[in-house]
């Protein structure tokens, strides 16, 4: 039997959890394991003890590794010819049984309220698998490695305790976690109470009250607003007492802010029954009588909300993030918002701020941003002290008809295992178990500052939405749901039978809730009105501002030289790489005005001057410290030491004694989650210059959902202003389709309602003034910068010192060659970005004198007045030519056409010079790139052809 057992799929090959359990038993009591195991453990690893004698090692890794190696040699032989060895075998089997329940007991748990499936066949959970018979049930075994409160138990009592703990309506997965301390913590927490709630009668009545509220709102809305979409929570009613317990418990533990992200399902219920939104206001949205003061607005089940709730530990500010229909995309936004709030409070560990993410079972398993967000959870620049994840698991996903199509994993929460996060699975029809799971999850997050998940397995009473008829595709499931009395009634009947509430009290609670709804009264008490927290942000200075508002972005020469000296001076004992040292030597010369200022120095001085003025800066991206093209070098690495703490130097953290914080982060390989995180950060912190930089501009493709649904439209949908900056390297230098274009055309298509700023600066002074303008001016809109690659070191893109101590950002740069006679100009070539320098070279090489070249540095909001003024300086111009690097169907061409037409006089012609339309952003063949580049430059100065418009 032992040989066949060790050869089974469950243990063969050195199953780590089993061996560790066995080894723990051995450490506690060597006699609790069979002699051959005792001999094995005695001899595998021994180390000298403090007194010089041999002591047994407590490290697990060598034991596991050795067992794995021994397993390759075949099953361990056992001796079965004596009563002693038989008893030893049984003691080992008991430890194996305990390990089995801890590992896979969850597979037998009572989790499905619909009871649609039978328990799977898991032999390891049956005593008979280990050779036990009914006659062994009353044998006493050592159970000191468990937490059932007894060092010795009969097999019968042990089996009952294991099944109560791991096979009831609450179970947990945690044995895959590498940290032994955490595994022991979960074993103790669950086994000491056998996963069984023990609440007072008052607490149980409070749980019933919250379940009643959950069901009551849904049924009230169903009756009053028949067929209107609301994505009902009914069937998952226990989620509301879960949230109530989470908020109250968190407040008791010192949390002062909770940031919540969730999709549609149950959102209206959360607004009313958790955050305290007035039912009257919700009904007004259904009745279409609510105030509509936004350019676009959004549906009611996307809306965010904030409130302050009283808890035993004091007021807690709740913030429900606005969320579009991409269900999981709010995850990184919530994390970024939480991080900003933590830093504002100087709360490095997350003791005062708690992020909470609510998922659907299909979304958590299916949408990739979930994995990206989890990957951020414990890295330095993005950690938030652990997130509590709650899954409203209706077992059907979106509308999946066949369970085989749901996902590829056993549980929808299996993605949590990628970060060793424990998962509590709980039956949604047992509200007390749900509340207990919530308490355990919160306690775990508080102690270990790590993510944890509560998977509430429930059902969906109605369809995906209220206009759906789910029985068409899930007839059997919905035949069961149709006869289900509802979680509230089940729980009320249970409390009535136990004497916790009087007969009929449950029905009276239902009537009372309906009466409150009829009166439009809040059902959550107390919600604190007019409460202003110490760390709340005053957004009023940033509202109703105009992009034309002036900002004095130049800095005095004395301040320039002081900051430049601070930036270019490295510590005496710091040995920089020779190439980096050259960069900083040059920057010192730039600071003194000896040579023109290049892009890297212009950017660094913008940062330094803002920091010195009290504006914090947060810059993140996949190579932000160095800069993908080695232009930034904001983080210097000593060549004479390897220590990560002492081996780096960040000059921008040393510009002034009382400067604001400067944070630069080399992010993990993620675009979607990191950009979402930075958007969330900027949404909560308007006084910080928050920047996300793509390694190449094209990489923003992976974050398109964030751009479309938050950055471009967040203000017109939800009234949320946001000053996030996106730096997207862009320019055609023959590097192929994925390293040329930041997809400028996509941003231009999204521009409307003055929703964001899209710029393509071409000089070092322009990036300097642009970055300073973003903070000094209180106009908080997303800033999209098409940053260059080749221009980072182009001598003509460098700027003289006077352009930094005087001047401002120019939305349009007119012809810069003073020798050109305006009277002789017949054609004005208008462009944006790197192609300007190519055009100037072409004009010089070909000695062309009848064309002026104008740069539009800000494409949106379009600078009509500046463009008109430039054109007026050329009285004889008859032709405007838009020239761009990008293919004709891409870039800014389609966007600028109508804007240029508005500034043209009668009889003027508009032409296009650029690459032909293409399905790809750029060609991959170097020779073809050169051919196209030559052709577009020739066309810019040649005869107008192709697309011509006469006004």
Distance of CA 295 to the CA centre of its chain: 27
- What distance in Å separates the CA atoms of residue 533 and residue 315, rounded to the nearest whole number? 9
What is the pLDDT, as a whole number, of residue 73? Answer: 57
Q: What is the DSSP letter of 709?
A: I
Out of 58-72, 109-123, 636-650, 906-920, which region has the weakest mean confidence (pLDDT)?
A: 58-72
- What distance in Å separates the CA atoms of residue 618 and residue 599, rounded to the nearest whole number? 19
Q: What are phi and psi of 529, to 5 degrees?
A: -95, 150
What is the pLDDT, as a whole number, of residue 84? Answer: 74
Whether the pLDDT of residue 55 is over 50: the answer is no
What pLDDT, in 10s, does the model give residues 210-257? Answer: 999 999 999 988 888 887 878 889 999 999 999 999 999 999 999 999
What pLDDT, in 10s, does the model give residues 688-736? Answer: 999 999 999 899 999 999 999 999 999 999 999 999 999 999 999 999 9
Residues 6+ apart with CB under 8 A from 722: 679, 682, 683, 710, 711, 714, 715, 780, 781, 782
- Which sign, positive or negative, has the C-alpha torsion 804, 808, 814, 819? negative
- What distance in Å separates the CA atoms of residue 319 and residue 315, rounded to the nearest whole number? 13
**Cα end-to-end distance, the chain, whole Å:** 93
Q: Tell which wins on pLDDT, 124 or 61.
A: 124
Average pLDDT on 569-595 reads: 93
CB atoms within 10 A of CB 707: 24
What is the pLDDT, as a whole number, of residue 467? Answer: 76
Task: Give the C-alpha distances (Å, rounded to integers) separating 614 from 609, 617, 662, 664, 775.
Answer: 9, 10, 10, 17, 10
What pLDDT, in 10s, does the model give residues 121-177? Answer: 999 999 999 999 999 999 999 999 999 999 999 999 999 999 999 999 999 999 999
Helix or strand run (H / E) with residue 160 = helix 155-166
What is the pLDDT, as a whole number, of residue 505? Answer: 95
Instruction: Report helix, strand or coil for 386.
Output: coil
- What distance in Å separates the CA atoms of residue 131 and residue 93, rounded to the nearest whole number? 8
Q: Tell which residue, 399, 411, 240, 415, has the closest CA to residue 328.
A: 415
Question: 391 - beta bridge partners?
Answer: 359, 455
Helix or strand run (H / E) with residue 860 = strand 858-860
Instruction: Report helix, strand or coil for 757.
Output: strand
Q: Are 236 and 456 a contacting pair, CB within 8 Å?
A: yes
Whether the pLDDT of residue 812 is over 90: the answer is yes
What is the pLDDT, as a whole number, of residue 402? Answer: 78
What pLDDT, in 10s, does the model give residues 494-527? Answer: 999 999 999 999 999 999 999 999 988 888 877 7
- What distance in Å separates the CA atoms of residue 299 and residue 320, rounded to the nearest whole number? 15
Q: Are 211 and 523 a contacting pair, CB within 8 Å?
A: no
Question: 851 - beta bridge partners?
Answer: 827
- What distance in Å separates the CA atoms of residue 157 and residue 255, rounded to the nearest whole number? 40
- What distance in Å separates the CA atoms of residue 434 and residue 455, rounded to the nearest whole number? 9
What is the pLDDT, as a whole number, of residue 21? Answer: 66
- What distance in Å separates the CA atoms of residue 105 and residue 171, rounded to the nearest whole number? 8
Whether the pLDDT of residue 576 is over 80: the answer is yes
Out of 21-25, 445-449, 533-537, 703-707, which region has the weakest mean confidence (pLDDT)?
A: 21-25
Q: Tell which wins on pLDDT, 297 or 791.
A: 791
Helix or strand run (H / E) with residue 744 = helix 744-750
Task: Give the C-alpha distances (Å, rounded to integers) separating 117 from 107, 267, 573.
Answer: 11, 29, 69
Distance of CA 834 to the CA centre of its chain: 34
Q: Describe the strand order of the beta sheet including 617-621 as a list of residue ranges.
A: 662-666, 617-621, 689-693, 725-729, 783-787, 757-759, 858-860
Q: Are 368 and 672 a contacting pair, CB within 8 Å?
A: yes
- Helix H, strand E, coil C: the string for 143-157 is CCCCCCCCCEEEHHH
CB atoms within 10 A of CB 579: 9
Question: 662 - beta bridge partners?
Answer: 617
Instruction: Report helix, strand or coil for 426.
Output: strand
Average pLDDT on 184-208 reads: 97
Instruction: Report helix, strand or coil for 205.
Output: helix
- What distance in Å separates the CA atoms of residue 268 and residue 301, rounded to the nearest whole number? 6
Q: Are 697 and 786 a contacting pair, CB within 8 Å?
A: yes
Helix, strand, coil percent content, the chain, rounded in steps of 5:
45, 15, 45
Task: Give the C-alpha distances (Å, rounded to integers) separating 83 from 79, 380, 404, 449, 457.
Answer: 10, 57, 49, 49, 47
Whether the pLDDT of residue 47 is over 50: the answer is no
Q: 781: pLDDT confidence band, cut at 50, 70 and 90? A: very high
- What distance in Å separates the CA atoms of residue 90 and residue 113, rounded to the nearest whole number? 37
Residues of the chain above pLDDT 70, percent: 91
Q: Are 373 and 673 a contacting pair, CB within 8 Å?
A: yes
> Helices in 76-150 by DSSP H: which ranges?
83-104
- What distance in Å separates the CA atoms of residue 827 and residue 850, rounded to the nearest whole number? 7
Tokens 């300073």 -> residue: 772
Whether the pLDDT of residue 446 is over 70: the answer is yes
Helix or strand run (H / E) with residue 705 = helix 704-706
Angle between the N-to-C axes of helices 180-193 and 155-166, in degrees from 0 to 180, rounded to the nearest 10: 100
Residues of the chain above pLDDT 90, percent: 75
Task: Give the C-alpha distances (Å, rounded to integers) separating 858 from 322, 554, 754, 833, 836.
Answer: 30, 19, 13, 10, 14
Mean pLDDT, the chain, whole residue set:
90
Whether the pLDDT of residue 52 is over 60: the answer is no
* Max intra-chain CA distance, the chain: 114
Rama region for 119: left / alpha / beta (φ>0; ψ in -120 to 50; rest): beta
Rama region for 188: left / alpha / beta (φ>0; ψ in -120 to 50; rest): alpha
What pLDDT, in 10s, does the model give residues 658-679? Answer: 999 999 999 999 999 999 999 9
Q: 33: pLDDT confidence band, cut at 50, 70 and 90? A: low
Q: What is the CA radius of gyration of the chain?
A: 33
CA torsion, points 712, 714, 717, 721, in degrees to nearest 10? -120
Whether the pLDDT of residue 684 is over 70: the answer is yes
Apex CA 155: angle with CA 152 and CA 160, to 5°?
Answer: 100
Please give the domain boundaries of the chain with CATH numbers for all domains.
2-193 (no CATH), 205-518 (3.40.50.970), 557-805 (3.40.50.12470), 812-950 (3.40.50.11610)
Whether the pLDDT of residue 89 is over 50: the answer is yes
């Amino acid at each position: 039997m032992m040989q066949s057992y060790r050869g089974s799929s469950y243990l063969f090959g050195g199953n780590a959890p089993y061996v560790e359990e066995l080894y723990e038993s051995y450490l506690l009591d060597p006699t609790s394991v069979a002699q051959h195991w005792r001999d094995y453990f005695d001899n595998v690893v021994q180390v000298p003890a403090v007194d010089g004698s041999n002591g047994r090692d407590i490290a697990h890794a060598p034991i596991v590794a050795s067992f794995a190696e021994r397993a390759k040699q075949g099953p361990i032989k056992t001796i079965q010819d004596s009563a002693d060895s038989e008893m030893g075998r049984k003691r080992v089997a008991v430890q194996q049984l305990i390990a089995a329940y801890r590992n896979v007991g969850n597979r037998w748990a009572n989790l499905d309220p619909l009871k649609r499936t039978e328990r799977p066949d898991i032999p390891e959970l049956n005593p008979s698998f280990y050779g036990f018979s009914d006659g062994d049930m009353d044998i006493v075994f050592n159970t000191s490695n468990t937490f059932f409160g007894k060092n010795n138990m009969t097999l019968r009592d042990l089996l009952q305790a294991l099944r109560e703990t791991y096979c009831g309506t609450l179970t947990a997965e945690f044995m895959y976690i590498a940290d032994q301390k955490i595994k022991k913590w979960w074993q103790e927490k669950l086994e000491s109470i056998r996963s069984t709630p023990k609440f007072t009668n008052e607490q149980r009545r409070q749980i019933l009250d919250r379940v009643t509220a959950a069901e009551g709102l849904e049924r009230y809305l169903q009756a009053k607003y028949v067929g209107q979409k609301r994505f009902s929570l009914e069937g998952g009613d226990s989620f509301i007492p879960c949230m109530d317990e989470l908020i109250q418990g968190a407040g008791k533990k010192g949390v002062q802010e909770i940031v919540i992200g969730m999709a549609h399902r149950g959102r209206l219920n959360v607004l009313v029954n958790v955050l305290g939104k007035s039912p009257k206001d919700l009904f007004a949205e259904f009745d279409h009588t609510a105030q509509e003061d936004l350019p676009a607005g959004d549906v009611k089940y996307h809306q965010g909300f904030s409130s302050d709730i009283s808890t035993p530990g004091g007021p807690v500010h709740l913030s429900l993030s606005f969320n579009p229909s991409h269900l999981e995309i709010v995850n990184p936004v919530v994390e970024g918002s939480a991080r900003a709030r933590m830093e504002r409070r100087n709360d490095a560990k997350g003791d005062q701020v708690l992020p909470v993410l609510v998922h659907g079972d299909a979304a958590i398993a299916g949408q990739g941003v979930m994995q990206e967000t989890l990957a951020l959870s414990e890295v330095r620049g993005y950690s938030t002290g652990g997130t509590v994840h709650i899954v409203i698991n209706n077992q059907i996903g979106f509308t999946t008809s066949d369970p085989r199509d749901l996902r590829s994993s056993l549980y929808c929460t299996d993605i949590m295992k990628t970060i060793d996060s424990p998962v509590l699975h709980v039956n949604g029809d047992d509200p007390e178990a749900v509340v207990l799971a919530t308490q355990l999850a919160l306690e775990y997050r508080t102690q270990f500052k790590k993510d944890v998940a509560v998977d509430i397995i429930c059902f969906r009473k109605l369809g995906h939405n209220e206009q759906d008829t789910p029985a068409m595709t899930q007839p059997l499931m919905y035949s069961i749901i149709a006869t289900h009395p509802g979680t509230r009634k089940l729980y009320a009947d249970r409390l009535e039978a136990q004497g916790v509430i009087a007969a009929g009290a449950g029905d009276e609670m239902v009537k009372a809730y309906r009466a409150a709804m009829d009166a439009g009264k809040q059902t959550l008490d107390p919600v604190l009105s007019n409460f202003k927290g110490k760390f709340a942000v005053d957004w009023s200075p940033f509202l109703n501002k105009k992009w034309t508002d002036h900002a004095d972005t130049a800095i005095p020469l004395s301040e320039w030289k002081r900051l430049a000296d601070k930036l270019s001076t490295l510590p005496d004992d710091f040995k920089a790489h020779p190439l980096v040292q050259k960069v900083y030597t040059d920057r010192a010369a730039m600071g003194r005005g000896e040579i023109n200022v290049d892009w890297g120095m212009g950017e660094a001085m913008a940062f330094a001057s803002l920091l010195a003025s009290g504006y914090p800066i947060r810059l993140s991206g996949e190579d932000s410290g160095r800069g993908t093209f080695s232009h930034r070098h904001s983080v210097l690495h000593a060549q004479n030491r390897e220590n990560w703490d002492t081996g780096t130097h960040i000059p921008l953290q040393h510009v002034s004694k009382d400067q604001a914080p400067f944070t630069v982060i080399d992010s993990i390989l993620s675009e979607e989650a990191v950009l979402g995180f930075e958007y969330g950060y900027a949404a909560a912190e308007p006084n910080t210059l928050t920047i996300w930089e793509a390694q190449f501009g094209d990489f923003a493709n992976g974050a398109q959902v964030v751009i479309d649904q938050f950055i471009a439209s967040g203000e017109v949908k939800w009234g949320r202003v946001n000053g996030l900056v996106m730096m997207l390297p862009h320019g055609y230098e023959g590097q192929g389709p994925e390293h040329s274009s930041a997809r400028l055309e996509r941003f231009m298509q999204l521009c409307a309602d003055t929703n964001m700023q899209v710029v393509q600066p071409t000089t070092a002074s322009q990036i300097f003034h642009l970055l300073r303008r973003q903070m000094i001016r209180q106009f908080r809109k997303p800033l999209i910068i098409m940053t260059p690659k080749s221009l980072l070191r182009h001598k003509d893109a460098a700027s003289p010192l006077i352009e930094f101590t005087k001047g401002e950002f120019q939305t349009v740069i007119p012809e810069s060659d003073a020798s050109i006679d305006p009277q002789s100009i017949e054609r004005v070539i208008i462009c944006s970005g790197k192609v300007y320098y190519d055009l100037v070279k072409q004009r010089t090489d070909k000695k062309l004198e009848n064309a002026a070249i104008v740069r539009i540095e800000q494409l949106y909001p379009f600078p009509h007045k500046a463009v008109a003024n430039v054109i007026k300086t050329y009285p004889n111009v008859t032709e405007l030519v838009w020239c761009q690097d990008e293919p004709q169907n891409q870039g800014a061409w389609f966007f600028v056409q109508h804007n240029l037409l508005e500034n043209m006089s009668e009889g003027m012609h508009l032409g296009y010079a650029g690459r032909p339309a293409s399905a790809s952003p750029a060609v991959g063949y170097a020779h073809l790139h050169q051919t196209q580049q030559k052709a577009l430059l020739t066309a810019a100065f040649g005869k107008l052809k192709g697309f011509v418009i006469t006004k």
